[in-house]
Structure 1
Amino acid sequence: MSMNQTVLICDQVDKILNEILQKNGLKVTYEPEIMPDQIKEKIGNYEIVIVRSRTKLTKDLIEKADKCKIIARVGVGLDNIDVDAAKAKGIRVINAVEGAMNAVAELVLGLMLSLAREMPRADREIRNGKWLKKELMGSELSGKYLGVVGLGNIGKKLARHAKALNMNIIGYDVIPIPDEFSREVGLVKADLDTLLSSADYISFHVPFTPETHHLVNAQRLSTMKKTTYIINTSRGEIIDEDALYNALKEGKIAGAALDVFEKEPAVGNKLATLPNVICTPHIGAQTREAQALAANVIAEKIIMILRGVI
């Protein structure tokens, strides 16, 4: 492909992406607040379309992308892009799985520590004039069992971080977990039900698919220990939120930390009313370093595709 391509960037991304593309001769239009009806009018004029998470490239939008050769997501998942519609039009879809893995893994660690030591509650009560030193008896991560559901880039990164904290790792994935990695972190492979019933902390790192929809439901929650904490930084739809709410309210599990929700923005979500839940607004990849890395990765992939390297 020619390097003289037109690019539409539909979301706010790190400036390095624009700079690299322009430096290599691409003509970039940067519209981080563009709306779907505007995209529908303009998308047919561009060979490359780039999104992050705000913009959803639905089938009706992609069908208008008659010149498009590449759709790129500056992020991990592709659930905001109709990949089948893109493939039907011969459009290559790429993402930046490398960009977010450390940021998300570190967020999971932060959430686990916050659950273990009740840090949000401690901060809140001091601000309310209360000193709960005796009441706030926490626990340590060292020696606990961490179940990692999904051992892709992020799951592996989390396991390595957790090993450094002297945690025991249990892993499950539908894709075979390499023995070399298992030896590296001392991972014990298990089926999903065994992991869910054994782990003290369970972190989910799976994509949203028909198979993972409500992967965590009332039945599976009932098999967990009362001392178990779950952390979800993958996709909100993998957890049945009504079932989780009931399990948390009834003390069937100890707590949860959620960065993703079935419906976002999750303002007014009833899970946020529970004292044993920590909520963050889908900030897993929201670090300066992760956004710069993801932008860099996408820019490099686009250039290599145009040069015929990949």
Structure 2
Amino acid sequence: MKILNLKVLQENQERSLQSLGIEVVTKTIAQNQIVNYCANHDFDGLLVDANYKITTTLLDQLNSLKFIIVVGKSLAHIPFEYAKKLGIQIYTTEQAYIQTEAELIIAHSLSCLRNLKDCNREMPLEGDIRFNQMHKLFSQGNTLWGQTWGFLGFDAVAERVAQLLQNWGVKFMVAEQGKSSILNKTQRRNKEFTIEFETCSEETLCRKADVISVHKYDIDDYLINASNLNLMKKTAGIINTHHPKAIDEVALVDALNDDTIGFAALDVFENQPKPEIQVLMQPKISLSPNLASHSKQADYLASKMATQQIINIFEDLKK
């Protein structure tokens, strides 16, 4: 087996594949050059990162491949069914990033509710001369205990957030059709547990939730616009780590400026990698540069998962 690795596997995983007799060619190749490069080599598989755009046109040109593995958490639509018709299997490592993204969502919520983002901005500037004033100003934050968390959409990351918060006294609402009112999950330490949540319309969720997190990828228009924001509580906040186009940022900044809502947290942006300056400078927004799906542990796990997928394919081909 011969695979093209566009520098997404960690070196130790690459060596483990080579030890099994799998040829791994590691290169940095521009996307517009990938077809020409593959045409001159007999590759069975291709490993790409989540930023790589897999289109039907590309698949038509690369239909000699047996498989493609996407290492990372992709927001882009991947044409799985079309690839299958061409005899190309597409594998992903999205499961590796569930815990990492769930933790960042919760971290952003705590940063906003407990005023940590404000403390971290102001303490380095005047913490030595306004310590007592800052204590008084920032000590009136809120805990997550007793809050209602609303999920716009419900995916594996949302499920993990609910699992992590189920003993924090948090209530859950989900604006997603077809979800039951009780989510039965497998096991934790050999004990089954359940998570209860209210299913509702997006309008009801906006009105009642204290914290809202976005968990939808396939969207045609803003999930959160001026109308949605006007429905929310003045103390409520919204967190987006999922889709850059999920929130109308102009309406969001206006709502924060007018105290229509309490806070926001953004890990993805409409105009990334150059977010709008009014978004970056709005003090009620907790900011991070696409960190949700990245941590040492997640990246290692994703590389390990991709390696195991290749080994499984290799073993199947030998049968």
Q: What TM-score does the superposition give when structure 2 sets the normalisation length? A: 0.85
Q: Output one character per residue of 1:44-71: Cα deviation in whole Å (capped at 9) or x when no partner.
A: 3322111223333344443331321212
Query: Aligned residue for 2:206?
Result: 196
Alpha-carbon deviation of 1:90?
A: 3.1
Query: Aligned residue for 1:98?
Result: 95
Q: What pairs up with 1:77-116 in 2 under 5 angstroms?
A: 77=74, 79=76, 81=78, 83=80, 86-87=83-84, 89-116=86-113
Q: Output one character per residue of 1:163-210: Cα deviation in whole Å (capped at 9) or x when no partner.
A: 122211112324434734387123222222211211000111222343
Taking the aligned partners of 1:43 and 1:219, their CA distance within structure 2 comes to 49
Structure 2 vs 1, CA of residues 193 and 123 (structure 1 numbering), >3 Å: closer, same or farther? Answer: same
Partner amino acid, structure 1, of 2:30: M
The correspondence for 1:18, drawn from 14, 18, 21, is 14
Query: Aligned residue for 2:294?
Result: 286
Question: Is the radius of gyration larger for structure 1 or structure 2?
Answer: 2
Partner amino acid, structure 1, of 2:168: L
Q: What pairs up with 1:13-162 in 2 under 5 angstroms?
A: 13-31=9-27, 33-44=28-39, 45=41, 46-77=43-74, 79=76, 81=78, 83=80, 86-87=83-84, 89-130=86-127, 131=131, 132-136=134-138, 137-162=140-165
Structure 2 vs 1, CA of residues 56 and 227 (structure 1 numbering), >3 Å: closer, same or farther? Answer: same
Query: Aligned residue for 2:189?
Result: none
Alpha-carbon deviation of 1:260?
A: 1.0
Give the count of matched residue pairs.
302
Taking the aligned partners of 1:22 and 1:194, their CA distance within structure 2 comes to 55
Which stretch shows the higher mean deviation, 255-264 or 42-51?
42-51
Q: Output one character per residue of 1:218-255: Cα deviation in whole Å (capped at 9) or x when no partner.
A: 22222111111101111111222222222222221111
The correspondence for 2:250, drawn from 218, 242, 247, is 242
Query: Aligned residue for 1:166?
Result: 169
Taking the aligned partners of 1:124 and 1:268, their CA distance within structure 2 comes to 19
Structure 2 vs 1, CA of residues 285 and 186 (structure 1 numbering), >3 Å: closer, same or farther? Answer: same
CA RMSD of aligned residues (A): 2.4
Task: Give the SS at the match of 1:93.
Answer: strand
Q: Output one character per residue of 1:114-137: Cα deviation in whole Å (capped at 9) or x when no partner.
A: 001121221221111243111112
Task: Give the SS at the match of 2:126.
Answer: coil
Structure 2 vs 1, CA of residues 178 and 96 (structure 1 numbering), >3 Å: closer, same or farther? Answer: farther
Alpha-carbon deviation of 1:293?
A: 1.2
Which stretch shows the higher mean deviation, 97-106 or 180-189?
180-189
Query: Aligned residue for 1:206?
Result: 216
Q: Is the 8 A contact 1:39 1:61 kept in 2?
A: no
Report whether the alignment pairs 1:179 with 2:174: no
Structure 2: gaps of 5 or more residues: 186-192
Structure 2 vs 1, CA of residues 62 and 200 (structure 1 numbering), >3 Å: closer, same or farther? Answer: same
What percentage of residue pairs aligned between the two structures are identical? 26
Alpha-carbon deviation of 1:13?
A: 4.0
Taking the aligned partners of 2:12 and 2:162, their CA distance within structure 1 comes to 30
Q: Normalized per residue, which structure has more strand?
A: 2
Query: Aligned residue for 1:271?
Result: 279
Report whether the alignment pairs 1:226 with 2:270: no
Structure 1: gaps of 5 or more residues: none
Alpha-carbon deviation of 1:81?
A: 4.5
Alpha-carbon deviation of 1:82?
A: 5.2
Alpha-carbon deviation of 1:267?
A: 4.1
Q: Is the 8 A contact 2:181 2:196 kept in 1?
A: no
Q: Output one character per residue of 1:276-305: Cα deviation in whole Å (capped at 9) or x when no partner.
A: 011111111211111111122222223334
Taking the aligned partners of 1:73 and 1:178, their CA distance within structure 2 comes to 34
Q: Is the 8 A contact 2:265 2:286 kept in 1?
A: yes
